[in-house]
């Protein structure tokens, strides 16, 4: 596996991968790789001839009081994992390469960026959309894969790719979970052992609400019970626990086809997010 840090070398390497008509799949990451990321790489290998991954901790998607400096960086270990999964190339630019002096452009996806995580993190999704657009232009993939755990991000990237006429396919890959249902996330490493045990209440609450609403339960009452379950299990606060349209992210008080449940809650200093289609059961979360 090649590791490339400069844009001219990247473009030459991508051209070489594509010269015989090879299909290139792209998996963008911020590193600190876990099984969820590796699942994306495996799916990319299944769908394409060559897999390109990137590692870039993007400063423009972190707020003033967020964890940019604390975000785990372990490129050597991550590169070894990617190589073991058969990735052909790792694109690992630094901030000066991604945002050279004088960089003044940003991409904003109006509407989708102002709800859910966007309400609590203003500007976050501008940073996401801008860096992903740049990565698409740099890597020029035929296919890009993203995890469904970050469903709002996936919806925004799909809208951005459509609106900006990117000639590539965007694929969502189902959330990879721990045995107790907790969605895999780089931020799970911040949890103490006690917090990690308590965090299992999040997929349990999400699972219970999903099945109850699918069975016809009152939506506001169900969401209220789910929030109380989280607070009584050790979560300190809840940013949102909403029923929304899976495409537009519009809020809803009634269930309809394509509806999803979205949750973000804090345990200690760690903010966890998750989502599920209404009626979908979360493996491992039906106990306790």
The Cα 108–Cα 91 span in angstroms is 24
User: Active-site residue among 34, 37, 103, 124?
Assistant: 37
The Cα 217–Cα 211 span in angstroms is 9
**Annotation marks residue 124 as catalytic:** no
Contact between 98 and 57 (Cβ < 8 Å): no
Alpha-carbon distances of 32 from 71, 134, 242, rounded to whole Å: 8, 21, 29
Alpha-carbon distances of 83 from 3, 41, 51, rounded to whole Å: 10, 10, 10
Residue 211's contacts (CB-CB under 8 Å, 6 or more residues apart) are 279, 281
Tokens 């209220």 correspond to 224
Contact between 264 and 272 (Cβ < 8 Å): yes
Query: 3-state SS string over 72-129?
Result: CCCHHHHHHHHHHCCCCEEECCCHHHHCCCCCCCCCCCCCCCCCCHHHHCCCHHHHHH
Tokens 């396919």 correspond to 169
Catalytic residues: 37
């Amino acid at each position: 596996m090649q590791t490339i840090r400069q844009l001219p070398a990247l473009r030459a390497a991508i051209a070489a991968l594509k010269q015989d008509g090879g299909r290139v799949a792209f998996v963008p990451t911020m590193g600190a790789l876990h099984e969820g990321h590796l699942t994306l790489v495996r799916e990319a290998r299944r769908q394409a001839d060559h897999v390109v991954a990137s590692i870039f901790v993007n400063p423009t998607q972190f707020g003033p009081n967020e964890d940019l400096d604390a975000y785990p960086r372990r490129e050597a270990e991550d590169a070894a994992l990617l190589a073991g999964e058969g990735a052909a190339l790792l694109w690992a630019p630094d901030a000066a390469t991604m945002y050279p002096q004088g960089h003044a452009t940003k991409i904003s996806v109006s509407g989708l960026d102002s709800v859910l995580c966007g309400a609590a993190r203003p500007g976050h999704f501008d940073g996401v959309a801008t860096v992903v657009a740049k990565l698409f232009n740099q890597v020029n993939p035929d296919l890009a894969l993203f995890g469904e755990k970050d469903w709002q991000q996936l919806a925004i990237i799909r809208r951005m790719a459509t609106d900006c006429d990117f000639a590539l396919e965007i694929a969502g890959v189902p959330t990879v979970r721990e045995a107790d249902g907790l969605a895999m996330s780089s931020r799970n490493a911040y949890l103490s052992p006690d917090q990690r045990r308590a965090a299992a209440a999040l997929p349990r609450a999400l699972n219970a609400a999903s099945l109850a609403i699918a069975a016809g339960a009152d939506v506001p009452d169900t969401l209220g019970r789910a929030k109380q379950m989280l607070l009584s299990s050790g979560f300190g606060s809840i940013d949102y626990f909403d029923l929304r349209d899976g495409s537009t992210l519009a809020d809803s008080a009634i269930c309809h086809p394509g509806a999803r449940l979205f949750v973000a809650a804090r345990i200690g200093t760690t903010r966890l997010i998750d989502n599920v289609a209404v009626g979908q059961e979360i493996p491992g979360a039906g106990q306790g």
